[in-house]
Amino acid sequence: MTDPHSPAAASGAFLLGGDLPVHRLGYGAMRITGPGVWGEPRDPGEAIRVLRRLVDLGVTFIDTADSYGPNVSERLIRTALHPYPDDLVIATKGGFIRPGPSQWVPNGRPEYLRRQTEQSLRNLGLDRIDLYQLHRIDPQVPVEESLGELSLLQQEGKIRHIGLSQVSVAELEQARRLAEIASVQNRYNLADRDSEDVLEYCQAAGLAFIPWFPIATGRLADPHGPLAAIGKSHGATPSQLALAWLLRRSPVILPIPGTSTVAHLEENVAAASVRLSDEEFETLTKAA
């Protein structure tokens, strides 16, 4: 059981799907694979150390996908952490085929999603996946078919909650008419807020919003920019401020910064303790 005074606990808590308590600052496990999100990591030992250290720091939410490697990220998580702590929630995703490094091809066919779900169960050593996310809506497959299969897997007890990734408000509304949706994972950060409307929808509906690429700061990290000035007052890095801003932005946001080193992991988790004032939050919000 995670220490309630652990560093990650400072990020606050969220009830994922209405029944899974997690610390809001999680971990994205894409970066523990090789270049191009392909193959084994350059330093497998450090990848294992990262995964074990995040549990020590109180991280209770890990996000991965069958396409990371492919399969490498899920297998490393099992190697490092199985049998899992009781309070650890592992989310994974399916819906991409990987022909090669940095290549991503959507596949939302029901038979493919079923095969990949069962593969993820084996990779992770689980009987049920707490949160299974459709990695992308496949434009070649009716979403009714993709979500229909995930709903069947949910009824069979292989999936606890269903999530979506990189969707619009219209797509989310359509999906919610077909299945009970617990989360949305879209690209969103201090410098890139194209999914602002999706975040606001999730907040109103009480759905988890999981921003990927959460620590991007763009031009805001300029030495003479607002991040530098505010960071100096907190003794914080631009990345830590970007995470602190996300945690302040909405109570439904669950940032999942990823890294392949323990040092960077510890820096990211320390962001949970950075408290922005109202003025600092507004300055950063308006600057982007």
- Gyration radius of the chain over CA positions: 18
Candidates 195, 136, 187, 124; CA nearest to 160 is 124
Look up tokens 């949305």; give the residue.
Answer: 184
Look up tokens 């975040």; give the residue.
Answer: 199
- Which of the residues are catalytic? 68
